[in-house]
Structures are given as C-alpha cells and as structure tokens.
Amino acid sequence: MGFNVSLSGLSAAQKDLDTTSNNIANVNTVGFKESRAEFADVYSNSLFTNAKTAVGNGVATAAIAQQFHQGSLNATSNSLDMAIDGSGFFIMNSELSGADFSYTRAGALKLNDNNYMVDSKGNYLMALPVNPDGTVKSVSLSTTEAVQIPQVAGQPQSTSKVDLSMNLPASEAPLDPTQFDPNDPGSYTASTSVTIYDSLGQSHIQTTYFVKPVGAALANNNQWACFVTVDNMPVDIWDTMAGKPLSGTYEQDTDGDGVADGTAAVKGKNDHTGFVLSFDDTGLYKGSSPATIFTQALGMDDPTSVIPTDDGAGVIPPGADGTQRLQLSFDNPTQFASPFEVTSLQQNGTTVGRLTNVEVTANGLINATYSNGDKHALGKVALARFTNEQGLSQVGNSAWIASQSSGVALVGEPDTGSFGAIRSATLEQSNVDLTMELVDLISAQRNFQANSRALDVSNQLSQNILQIR
C-alpha cells in the first residue's frame, strides 16, 4: 500500500510541475489565464473500517482550475487590437455562418483578405448588429454577425447646395461690376472657393466673387454684385420663373427700402449674369436678388470638352447629365468695416470615400471613417459571460468553448451591467505572476523529491522483509 500512496504523491507532484511549467511557458501569451492544480486526499472506507485508525490511500488530482482574474493591459499601435477591462469574453466563430462559437480574452485582431476582423487562427470576431445611429438592434448570440470593414463608403452625391457666411468689407474701394473678369483680380473685391462634386464623384472648384459697385451701378452702396464660376468658367444665375438666365439689367429702388425691386441681376465681362446681396445701414443682411439663387444647369458629355449649355454659354460643368444646378444660400452675411472674412462655407456633395481609420469606443461600437467625411457604425462588439467560468473547456489559442458545467453564454453590450469596457489599441497580457510560479515550481520539486524518498523507503523496507530467513 505504501508504494501506491507514494506513487499517487509522485503523480500529483508531476501534475503540479506540469501545470506550473505551462503557466511559465505562457507568461507572454496574450489573453492567457493561469491554471492551478487542485488536489484531494483519497480514502477507502467500508462499514467495518475504524475511521479513527484509517490511513489515507494517497492523493488525486481534483481539477486543473483556470484563474480568470484580469491580466495587465498594454497599449499597442494597432487600432484593431482590443482588450476587455472587466468581465466578459470576445465571441469568435470559425465560420461566417453557423454556431461554432468560441470565447477568448485575446483581442489581437487583424483583417483577412475579405476585410473581416479575425484572430491569428482566422476565427471571425462577432458583433451585435446596430442601426445607423449606433444603437443595438438585438442582443442575442444567434443574431451576432462577423465584422467586415468596407474599404469604400457610399455612392457619390452631386452637390446641389452651397452655404456661405462671410463679412464683406464696407470700406473697400468700389469697382465697376460690369467689368468683372475671374482672370483679373483687380476686377473684384473678394472671393472664396469650395470643392464641389458631380454625380460621378469628380471634384470641381466653385468660386463666388464679390464686387463692391461704384456709384449708381446698383441702387445704393449697401449692395454687392456677386458672380459664380465653376473650374474658373463663369456660370450664369438662372431665372427659374422664365427658364433662362437673368436678364442682367439693374432695377431701381422705387419704394426707397434700399433693395432693388423685383429680380435684379448684374452682367460681368463677356455677358455673364450674377446676383445681388443687400444690407441695411448697420451692415446687417437684408436679402438677395433673386431671393433664391440658382445657377444654370451644369452638365457635359465629354469631360475634356467645353460645351454650350441651354443658354448657349460655354461652361465646364460638373454634372454628367446636364441636370445639376447649384443653389447658393447665405446665412446672415454682414457688411462691416473690417476685412473680408469667411465664417462658414460648406456644400452637401460627397465623393466615394476611402477607408482612413477604424476606431472602437469604450462601449464596443466599431466606427469606420472615410476620406469623404463619412463615418459608419459597423457593429458593436459582442461580449459573453458564464455562470461558471471555470467550467469552460479549453480548446487552445487562448480560447474556450461552453460546456455543461459552464452554462450557456449570456450575451451583452460592453460597458453595461456586469460587462467590462473595451479598450482599443490595447491587449490584455497573461495573468501569470512569474514570481509566484517560480516559488510554486520549487515547492512542487520538493514535493516530488519527498515522495520519491518515501517510495525509496518503502522499497527498502520491502527488501528487508524479503531478506528475513
């Protein structure tokens, strides 16, 4: 019996050594959780055994228990790397569809050849589907989806509106607006430009010019003549009622309110029409003539040519079908005795966006940013927790699968309830305490030596008995 007791001790000591060695070997493994060898004594009793004098039958390994306390968090330069600060597991799937789920704390992720977020084994990161505003549609393991990051975003949207706000310098020397020429800086007071887009996503430069008129060129000194060009080609202001360019004649201020009556326009050099902005005596904006400012239709069949539009004017238009018009809207411009200053300038067109950045927020929302300014919520990282974490079954690669002992996975959003927050560009290191492991290694070694000695003593006693004559 002594042999068996010592052999069980040797086996337990070896198991302890193996467990400690495995912990030490994985001290730098991302997301690794240390194990602890747990042992139980062995007794063999019967109805007629005296419990007071019974001797144990050795030791048995009760469990190799995983220890799921938090490992240290280390920052990285990869925005796809993630760590969970708190409880929970990332959900991974070996297939795009199916239910081959595994659970891990290792968030070292990358993109595969189809732009899905995967780990080093090619398992897909699973996320909760979200609405465009980032709110979660459903919290369920069955509705989680693999995260794919598109390299491009959206269809091109042609510019239809340009919004401006600026201060026009009241003290500038007046000029003759009929002599406006976009190629002559001396023919206008100030200008500002914005990039606009056609229906194919091609970029163009739209410029608005401002001319402080001389004398009686307009009704009074509180009016400005304005002109528009696209790619440095003059564009007429359109008379939407008549279906043709504005006439280009100045209408008089018959009622004395400081604003030209009806529809006023001004012609610059080469007979291109512009529009008029009006201010009161304090420099505040009163309105425009026409009240709603549209350009002529822009369009072209050959991107390399200059073609006549419906009024016969040659324009390099940004549209492909001839239907694109620009509406210019002014948000309370001013006319003060200070330098020309643009306070707001924006347009509503977009081109095709190229992926520029991926970020993951603390609540797990995965956002992709594109070069055209678009920002898309692609999903929210799904986290899982279990009633009994130590009941999970190890499958390697710092991953586990659910078992009957662990219970089913409970899925939730990061940074809510008992689930931890997501730390982007961060990895959770192994939770192995190397100092403690080295101490445990010495202890296991001594235990092995002691059991070896006990086995040797039992062998000597048996040998002495065999030598009795």
Residue 55 lies inside a defined structural domain of this protein = yes
Co-location of 147 and 244 in the same domain: no
Q: Are 206 and 326 in contact (CB under 8 A)?
A: yes
Give residue-wise pLDDT tens across range 176-201: 888 888 999 999 999 999 999 888 88
pLDDT band at 462, cuts 50/70/90? confident
Separation of alpha carbons 364 and 383, rounded Å:
9
Co-location of 145 and 237 in the same domain: no
Co-location of 318 and 281 in the same domain: yes
Give the number of domains in the chain.
3
Give residue-wise pLDDT tens across range 256-311: 454 444 566 777 776 778 999 999 889 999 999 888 999 888 764 333 333 344 44
Co-location of 264 and 136 in the same domain: no
Separation of alpha carbons 353 and 373, rounded Å:
7
User: Cα-flanking dihedrals φ and ψ of residue 104, to 5°?
Assistant: -150, 160
Residue 47 lies inside a defined structural domain of this protein = yes
Q: What is the DSSP letter of 141?
A: G
Give residue-wise pLDDT tens across range 212-256: 988 655 656 688 999 999 888 888 888 777 777 777 655 544 444
- Contacting residues for 265 by C-beta, under 8 A, at least 6 apart: 237, 246, 247, 248, 249, 250, 273, 274, 275, 276, 289, 290
Q: Are 420 and 82 in contact (CB under 8 A)?
A: no
The answer to whether the bond into 290 is cis (omega within 30° of 0) is yes
Give me the mean pLDDT over the 385-404 stretch. 93
Residue given tokens 């902005």 in the structure block: 277
Co-location of 306 and 375 in the same domain: no
Q: Are 232 and 315 in contact (CB under 8 A)?
A: no
Co-location of 52 and 96 in the same domain: no
Query: Higher confidence at residue 29 or residue 39?
Result: 29
- Contacting residues for 74 by C-beta, under 8 A, at least 6 apart: 426, 427, 429
Give the DSSP letter string of 298-324: B--SSTTS-EE-TTS-EE--S-SSS-B
Query: Higher confidence at residue 325 or residue 399?
Result: 399
Q: Please check the confidence at residue 338 and state whether its pLDDT lies above 60.
A: yes
Co-location of 226 and 253 in the same domain: yes
Co-location of 242 and 341 in the same domain: yes
Co-location of 263 and 340 in the same domain: yes
Containing structural domain, residue 390: 81-152+361-420
Separation of alpha carbons 159 and 162, rounded Å:
8
Give the DSSP letter string of 337-355: SS--EEEEEEE--B-PEEE
Separation of alpha carbons 383 and 129, rounded Å:
13
Q: What's 315's domain CATH number?
A: 2.60.98.20
User: Cα-flanking dihedrals φ and ψ of residue 32, to 5°?
Assistant: -70, 145
Residue 74 lies inside a defined structural domain of this protein = no
Co-location of 39 and 185 in the same domain: no
Task: State the SS3 of 70-139.
Answer: CCCEEECCCCCCEEEECECEEEEECCCCCCCEEEECCCCCEECCCCEEECCCCCEEEEECECCCCCECCC
pTM over 0.95: no
Q: Are 380 and 74 in contact (CB under 8 A)?
A: no
Co-location of 172 and 30 in the same domain: no
Co-location of 25 and 174 in the same domain: no
How big is the chain by its Cα radius of gyration, in Å? Answer: 39
**The two structure tokens encoding residue 178:** 């009929």
